[in-house]
Every structure is written in C-alpha cells, then in structure tokens.
Amino acid sequence: MRIGKDTVVALEVELSDLWGNVIERSDAPVHYLHGGYGGLLEAVEAALEGKHAGDRLTLDLEPEDAFGDYDERLLRVEPRERFPAELETGMRFEGIPGEPAESESPIIYTVTDIAAGKVVLDGNHPYAGVAIRFRCTVREVRAATPAEIDRGAAEDPGALRMSVRG
C-alpha cells in the first residue's frame, strides 16, 4: 500500500542538524494519520506522498519548513512565586501559571533559567530557528479506521487500553 490520504503511516525517525549531529531519534515507530491532519510537518508529509513500506527519505529543512523561526516575543520573565516550590530548568508549563488560558491551544513554555526571584520561560519549540535534516524509514502503511479519520489522528499502538464490562 502506498502513502496517501487517510492512511496510517509508521516511521522510524531521526532528526539531526545539517552537520549530522543527531538531535533526536525515535525509540519506536512514530504513527501518524496522513492527509493534512497536522500530525507531521507539512513538507515531510508532502515528500512521503506515494511512498510505501521500506522506503527511506532524507530532507533538509529550513526553520520555516520545520519548527519555525525563533520568536523573541515568546520569551517571558515571571516572578518566582507564581510557580510550584519544586521548580527546575527544563520543566514545561501549559500557559503561564496564574494567568487565564490564552486560547484553545495554549503555548507550552519551558523553564530556561531561575535566578534572582525570577523565572525565564521560552514558548518557542526547542528546535525553532534550527535547520534540520529529517531522515525516516517507512515501516508500515495501512488504511486508517473510520474512528481514526473522525478523530484526525492515528491510534497510539503503545497506549494501554482497558475495558470494564459489568
């Protein structure tokens, strides 16, 4: 089966910078619903169209085609007292603690520094502003189920499912 609209694709993925330094590698295949559902970078999804299991793909992506340009407006400095007692760099927050939710899809902020009673937060994707090399191997392609199409996302094969019948 070839990759096309409403197929579920399993990929082994490796991200590196353009010099070949590995940034991230999937431990298990990543599953996504193909066809414009937003589960994968648009440029990658377009390049995968028509491929089938066993195919490999390497794409060099500029920031605007990957995780976006770095936006300094997404840096925030907030008072330390707004945060939990247990706080360390690298922790992530959905929105700013103590502020109302910004929208249906709030910004995820990462704590990048804690000093002098202040917390520095960065709402950019960790790879924003970085040109990346996206390498993948297609492991599986199958037709999506009606439930996956309705949901707009592939089933997570690693998720634990339990059913209670009474």
In one letter, which amino acid is 151? R
Cβ atoms of 118 and 2 closer than 8 Å: no
**pLDDT band, very low/low/confident/very high, at 14 (cuts 50, 70, 90):** very high
Residue carrying the six token digits 């936006």? 71
Per-residue pLDDT for 104 more than 80?
Answer: no
**pLDDT band, very low/low/confident/very high, at 13 (cuts 50, 70, 90):** very high
CA distance 45 to 7: 12
Tell how far CA 120 is from the center of its chain: 22
**pLDDT band, very low/low/confident/very high, at 102 (cuts 50, 70, 90):** low
| Other residues' Cβ atoms within 10 Å of the Cβ of residue 53 | 15
Q: Which fold has domain 72-122?
A: Thrombin, subunit H (2.40.10)
Residue carrying the six token digits 């090399």? 133
Which tokens sit at 120? 């520095």
Q: Give residue-wise pLDDT tens across range 35-77.
A: 999 999 999 999 999 999 999 999 999 999 999 999 999 999 9
**What are the residue ranges spanned by the domains of the chain?**
7-67+127-144, 72-122
In one letter, which amino acid is 82? R
| Other residues' Cβ atoms within 10 Å of the Cβ of residue 51 | 19
CA distance 53 to 11: 9
The correct answer on CATH 3.10.290.10 for the domain covering 7-67+127-144 is: no
* pLDDT score recorded for residue 122: 97
Which tokens sit at 39? 């589960």
| Other residues' Cβ atoms within 10 Å of the Cβ of residue 13 | 16
Residue 3: phi and psi, rounded to 5, are -70, 125
Per-residue pLDDT for 156 more than 90?
Answer: no
